[in-house]
Every structure is written in structure tokens, then in C-alpha cells.
Amino acid sequence: MSEQEPKATESRIGTDEWVAQVGGRVRGRAGWWGQLADRWEALPLGWRYGLVVLLFLLIPPITGSQPVLNALGISDNAFILRTGVRFLTFSMLAIGLNVVVGYAGLLDLGYIAFMGIAGYLYAYLSSEFIQIEGVIPYGLAVPTIVSIPLIVLLVALLGWGIGAVSIRLAGDYLAIVTLGFGQVFLQLALTATRVQVPGRDRPVDFTRGPNGINGLDNLRLFGYEFQSTLQYYYLFLLLLVLTYVVVHHLNQSRVGRGWRSIREDELAAELMGIPTRRMKLLAFAIGAGIAALEWATDAAFQGNVVPNPRYSALTLINLYAMVVLGGTGSLPGAIIGSFVFTVLPEVLRSVQLAGLLFYGLGVAALWRFLRPFSHFLTVVGGTIVVGGVFKLLVGLLAPQWDTACSTLEAACPQAGSLLNSIIQGWLVIPENFQLVGNVATGLAVATLLGFMVVKNGR
């Protein structure tokens, strides 16, 4: 007599039930979204990164096309490109900070000082700021191929030195020392305008104070000069990809494993033979070098170096928020955090882009959670029908509401984009729309609280 097979709900000897259920849970992702996620995860890691980079490569031509410009109600994509450059620069800075904070677990609050020193070094080397009569009449004008690597090396060595001074400290004490270093740099950048140097009759201006140093040279590599925002966009994208690849491989190497060991338990890591001191100094140096590479290039893009607000505590707070939001120790998380703090505020600031984001997320949420697809069509179609009937009834019973958009311009979206042109004809705005909106908000909150009370009561 053959043995009976155990039922699906029974435990199997020698089988980890949780592990056995993982495949079932993954396969349980139904619908087009689940299939898309499965196919995405099945791709090799290099292909996934390549597709993301391809998307960023296509952003300038797509946003510069006339249909997209008409839909957004703008004349060109210069604003989008500058926002993209800002996103790419802060992504690099977040990755550099992530090396120190996320991997090695060192609370470095002087990170902005490395950025600022790199910017001022580029201003000294690649502008007419340093002039000595009869010796350097027109500035140093050091070639970019020499100045950028030199700046990265000097700032990385400075990071190593700052780490060597404060390496014995940990936690709050390390944070206080590095924060003091950052604030000292900021005060010097603001006040080092009349420094008496031995051998000179007149005081020397090192920073030009709050006004900063202007007229910086553009980057020139192998005879090619970067001038436009589009050129710098692709340059920053290349630097971000290179930085990401290098840091990713570092994280997967013995160095990365050593950093993570120090972060989790420094004493245990030292007992296991990991050179904790050297690993910490290396983290400081690499983080400072990444900040120097990015900010020296950004100084060339901006054409100036201004201490405030670029090197203020607000910039440091934003960088830490990016790292924490994306998850400390996560490279994709650092980029996502940068996106949230650089791109989303610009999108929400623009009425056109905010409208696209709001309605796009609404449609995407309905598409994601309404199963099967016929339910999605029913909800969207029903909303359109109910809206049309309501619009018709308002036109018959309260025509002054139906024409409020022509008399209350502040209550209506501005015409000019395709989305607003479509929505404007369907709006019904009461004469006292602010009161109605406040009452509706109160009713919505009360209804939500009522549902929560009923659910908890059960």
C-alpha cells in the first residue's frame, strides 16, 4: 500500500515552509503589473541599469518635442533640463554621502565643506580671480583635464586628514567635530575678504564674501567646450553613471564588506582582523572625492561659486534627507531620494506639471488596484457619465455656477496646455467655492474618521 502524499496545508519534513512559499507569493502577483515586475526582475542587472540610463538619455529629445511642449504649455525645455542637471548633481552628492554614512556608518556633518572647497579651488584654478602683476596677469587658466583630477585628489586627501583627526571619535562626538569643520569653512567663505598676508602691503580677498567668485571658465575636455545646459546634462549623467558603477563595485568588494562590518559592530570587525582605521579613512576620502568631482563640475556649469545657500546647513539637511529617505546604504535609494527633493518640488510648483502629476497618479492608481480591467473601464466611464449629467443639471438649475470659470479666474486652471483645455470645459465652480471646498474637506475627514471608528469597533 503506497504512502499518502501530504496535503498542501500540511507541513513537509525537511522543508522550510516559508522558503517554499516565496515562489508562490512571487507567482501570485497577478495582472499586467505583476507580469511586468516579473519580467523586469528576470532581466540581468546590467540590462536594467542600461534601460534606466537610456530613459535619461531620451529625456531631452522627448521633452524638447513640440507635442510635449504644447501639452505642458511651455515654449522650450530649458527649465526641465536645468531641473535634470540639479537632480543628477544631488544624486552624485547623495551617493558620496552614502559612502560615509550609509556604508561606513560615520556621521559626517562636514560634507558641505568638501563641496565648497572643491568649488573654490576650481574658481582659483579656472578663472581670472588669481592675478599677480607681472607674473599671472590673466589668471591661472589651468586646463580642465588637469584641474578637475587635481581638485579631486586634494579634497580626497583633505577628507583623509579630517578623518585622521577625528577618527577616534564616534557618534555624537564625531558629528560635532565635523559640523564644526563645516561651519568654520562657511564662515571663512563669508568673511575671508580682507586677510593680511605677510609680505603684502594690502589685505588679500580670498573669497569675495557673500557675492562669491564669478566668471568661471567652462569645462574643456580634449578640445571640446561645454557651454549649453544640454551638454552639461549629458556630462553629469556620464559622471553619475561612472560614480554609481565604481561605488557599486566597491560595495561588493572586500572594502564594502569591511565598511558594513564596521557599521554593524566596529569592535567585532576589529577582532576579525579588519583594519577599521584605514577603512574609515578610506570612506572619508572617497566621499570627499565624489563631492569634489561633482561640485567642481557644477561650479563650471553655474559659472560662479556662492557660499550661501549652497554651503549652508539647509543643503546638508537636504542631502541627509535624501539618503535617509532612500535608505542608508542603498545606491538606488539615494537617487530616488534625490528625485523626491529636487524634481518633485519643481513639478508641484508648476501648475501645468502638477496637474499632469495629479491626474496621472490618479489614473495609474485606478489602473493598478481595479481588477479586472473591465472594472477600471466601468469606473472611468461611470465617472465621465456622472460628471456629464451633473454638468448638465448645474447648467439648467444653477447657470451662474456653470459660468463661474469665466468670472472667477483664480478658481480655474490657466488655459494653454492640452490637459487644461480638456478639463476646463467640464468644471463646475460654485460662486463661493472656498466655503464649499472647506465644507467638503470637513465632510471627507469626518467620513474617513467614521469608517475608521466602525472598522476598529468591529
**Reported confidence tier of residue 209, pLDDT bands at 50, 70, 90:** confident
User: Residue 411: is its pLDDT beyond 50?
Assistant: no
User: Which residue in 20, 33, 85 sits closest to 56, CA to CA?
Assistant: 85
Q: Which three cell numbers stand for residue 346?
A: 519643481
**Reported confidence tier of residue 177, pLDDT bands at 50, 70, 90:** confident
Mean pLDDT, the chain, as a whole number? 80
Question: pLDDT tens for residues 341-357?
Answer: 998 888 777 666 666 67
Lowest mean pLDDT across 295-299, 328-332, 426-430: 426-430
**Reported confidence tier of residue 246, pLDDT bands at 50, 70, 90:** very high
**Torsion angle, CA of 204/208/214/218, rounded to 10 degrees?**
60
Q: Which three cell numbers stand for residue 52?
A: 534606466
SS3 letters for 54-72?
A: HHHHHHHHHHCCHHHHHHH
Residue 222's region, left for phi above 0, alpha for psi from -120 to 50, else beta, is left
pTM strictly above 0.85: no
CA 19, CA 197: separation in Å to the nearest integer?
70
Question: What is the reported pLDDT for 143?
Answer: 85
Q: Domains in the chain, start-ordered, CATH in brackets?
A: 77-343 (1.10.3470), 358-457 (no CATH)
Question: pLDDT tens for residues 122-154?
Answer: 988 888 777 665 556 566 778 888 899 999 999
User: Residue 388: is its pLDDT beyond 60?
Assistant: yes
Q: Which three cell numbers stand for residue 403?
A: 459660468
Spell out where 44-134 has E strands: none
Q: How far is CA 180 from the centre of its chain?
A: 26
Contact in structure between 126 and 140 (CB atoms under 8 Å): yes
User: Residue 269: is its pLDDT beyond 80?
Assistant: yes
